[in-house]
Structure 1
């Protein structure tokens, strides 16, 4: 069994996917009490794979990686993304919440054969381009640390000099980066995350990101060309939404796509009882309770039932959840329940979440879909196994 260390694990989306890919964590850590309570509760319930996790609650800046016994094959994590979120305050390196320096420290001290770090798509904004390059070069040369009182731009220049010199000395990683849309990998949500994956140079590994397996065109074909989608869900023609632009696009597709169709909200939750109109039957499902107060307004119109969900959001100002809504074909809206949101993030159905609806939605909104994490981590595992 390959060994991993999971940083900033939160509710465990990335960590669960990594474990499902065949890694056994030597340490799993996060500072957030509510997220750690969620993990501990599921650990006590014996939920696989969390049941085997050594959970450490605390500030990663205070964690001594020297306490991790033995070699580590993989370090993973989602450094807190608020500085780079499209909905955040965009402070980047000026924001004390930026935990990339700790991710780099973990790589430097643990010297894993590989790492996987992810963050929101906002990290790729042009205004953060220099800082993203700074992160990438630090992960490439983790031993080349900043000097005392050295500003980050000066450190970046020194890293650039070192990189262009082409030296082979010291700890070095080959780093690739790509923005992945979760919907393209069988997740019922259009959620774009940037992944940075690196392999230690001495492994000699060549690697590329997994090829997408699902597509929008395949969904449109299934809905508006052969109509298999509606037949599968037993939706009578009179109850189907208007095709509109989607149907028009489907008619322009020359050949049946070879990919699988994008999964939709209906695909994800159709077997769950309606928590608003049938609350009695909904009580048989963990965390599947109606949350009142949803309303649609400009920029917050919810996720159509027959498309992948929009990105679930954690929210940094005001009450979170403005986009965490289902929009029915008749135009009415309601909030997704915690269980439905967990489905959209591909968490195990028997996992429970600790905290209020607002707190739990924050955990879910910050998570990586388990399915996407498993696919990326499986690709890394396969290469490490063959090296």
Structure 2
């Protein structure tokens, strides 16, 4: 195995703004974003064997969960491989500015079985435990939009309240809705120590609106410890738009950028039907993301110049699906069933032929670096990417939190 990505973990050239703990690290999307925003990882936790192998190849080193040590800023990310429920975070109390993580989405995914709070994979309670034990200044959590489904919304509101008052701990054997009643009452109580309360903000965002070449709707929850006075914090505004893309395609600017002949607009894309120009950058398209990559060679070996750029046979149009179009953002990258995604992984080429996207192309869509090595066979690599936070979307959120924390002038 050739390890190509260890340089991602180094401290050179990164302005350090604070420290962080990464939960449910996966293949490292949000963690890499936090690193790029200037946070020094005190700890990363991940249970999946393949994801751990990916992290160890790129950015991490093993540590024992029972002997957590603070790491120098130039060290590799300290990784605990194992069940988060067995990790004691108390040695890091007061030592981490941010606790961040993409909480496992399977219980809430629209593509799953929707078991939600009854699912053993519901790991929100572990995030709250980490917050209690570490007392970070901020929390960043990401999850699928299925968490906002009407059937889950009461539990989602409960999640927000528990994050706001994490020290109002759930009693063993207590039903969540009974705990929620206590939280509602506790949050109305005056005179509580502000270091034990958090101001919680949440938003449903589309990754395409922040420059990611993919339409990917996700819920972000950001919380600041109340003593910091950041209750008025706002999520970063969108930077990219569909309107801008349509205007550039209609004007010809988009096609000129790619040095290709303009495509005929659809029936609804007349100048009279265009939405107003909003002054934002245009949505990034699949062509923007992968247009410089060569066609994959064969089905067995990497392209000699590109890591994980291997073709895959048998592409077809799935019932109820349409393929990805080059001049739109990609469809949502999904983990699939046992790492085998469906029609969202099919690309329609300029000549009308279809093929599967390669792992490298999907990594581009998820905005991972080109030398980010992924462990396992293709299915495992695709699963890791489908479960990840796009690096560039995570960076937008991480930078916004870093800016807010810098304004308080207290960092670890």
Q: Which moved more, 1:296-305 or 1:373-382?
A: 296-305
Change (3 A) 1:120 1:27: same
> Structure 1 148/279 Cα, relative in aligned 2: closer, same or farther at 3 Å?
closer
TM-score, normalisation: structure 1: 0.93
Structure 1 window deviating more from structure 2 (322-331 vs 205-214): it is: 322-331
From 362, 372, 380, the equivalent of 1:341 is 362
Q: What secondary structure, in the 3-state scheme, does the structure 2 residue paired with 1:34 have?
A: helix
Q: Aligned partners of 1:338, 1:289: CA distance in 2, in Å?
A: 7
Residue in structure 1 matching 2:227, options 198, 202, 208: 202
Shift of 1:120: 0.6
Q: Could you tell me how far 1:107 is from its partner in structure 2? A: 0.8
Offset from partner CA, 1:121-168 (integer Å, 9 cap, x none): 111111101100111111000000111211111111111122234553
Distance 2:284 2:340 in 1: 28
1:13 maps to 2:29 = yes
CA gap 1:317/1:53 in 2 versus in 1, 3 angstroms: closer
* 1:8–1:78 contact (8 Å) kept in structure 2: yes
Q: The residue matched to 1:218 in structure 2 has which SS?
A: helix
Correspondence list, 1:21-40, <5 A: 21-40=37-56
2:347 to 308, 311, 326: 326
In 2, the alpha carbon distance for the partners of 1:309 and 1:6 equals 27
**What is the SS of the residue equivalent to 1:83?**
coil
Contact 1:272 1:282 in 2 (8 A): no
152, 159, 166: which one aligns with 1:142? 166
Q: 1:70 to 1:159 in 2, by over 3 A?
A: closer
SS at match of 1:197: strand
Are residues 1:234 and 2:259 paired? yes
Superposed CA RMSD in Å reads 2.2
Cα 1:252–1:50 change in 2 (3 A) is farther
Equivalent residue, structure 2, for 1:371: 392
Q: Is the 8 A contact 1:27 1:68 kept in 2?
A: no
Offset of residue 335 of structure 1: 1.2
SS in 1 for 2:59: helix
Aligned equivalents of 1:50, 1:316: Cα separation in 2:
38
Residue 85 of structure 1: CA displacement? 0.5
Change over 3 Å in CA distance of 1:44–1:204 after alignment to 2: closer
Residues 1:157 and 2:189 are matched in the alignment: no
**C-alpha separation in 1, matches of 2:32 and 2:135:** 22
Deviation of 1:55 (Å): 1.2
> 1:280/1:162 Cα in 2 relative to 1: closer, same or farther (>3 Å)?
closer
Change beyond 3 A, Cα 1:251–1:267: farther
Tell me by how many angstroms 1:349 deviates.
1.2
Match for residue 203 of structure 2 among 147, 156, 178: 178
Structure 2 distance, partners of 1:122, 1:290, is 32
1:71-108 superposed Cα distances (whole Å, 9 cap, x missing partner): 21000001110000010110000000010000111111
* Structure 2 residue aligned with 1:350: 371
C-alpha separation between the residues in 2 aligned to 1:104 and 1:263? 36
| Pair 260,92 (structure 1): closer, same or farther in 2 beyond 3 Å | same
The equivalent of 2:121 in structure 1 is 97
TM-score (norm 2): 0.87
Q: CA deviation at 1:246?
A: 5.2
- Structure 1 residues 347 and 317: alpha-carbon distance in aligned structure 2, compared to 1, 3 A threshold: closer
Range with greater deviation from structure 2 (299-308 or 69-78): 69-78
Ranges in structure 2 where 5+ consecutive residues have no aligned partner: 1-15, 62-72
Higher fraction of helix: 1
Distance between the aligned counterparts of 2:90 and 2:180, measured in 1? 27
Verify: 1:131 aligned to 2:188, yes or no. no
1:247 aligns with 269
Which shifted more, 360-369 or 316-325? 316-325
Q: Secondary structure at the match of 1:115?
A: strand
User: What is the distance in 1 between the residues matched to 2:49 and 2:366?
Assistant: 21
Aligned counterpart, 2:288: 267
Q: In the alignment, does 2:319 pair up with 1:305?
A: no
> For 2:302 and 2:23, how far apart are their aligned partners in 1?
38
Match of 1:116 in 2: 140
Would you say the 8 A contact 2:94–2:135 is kept in 1?
no
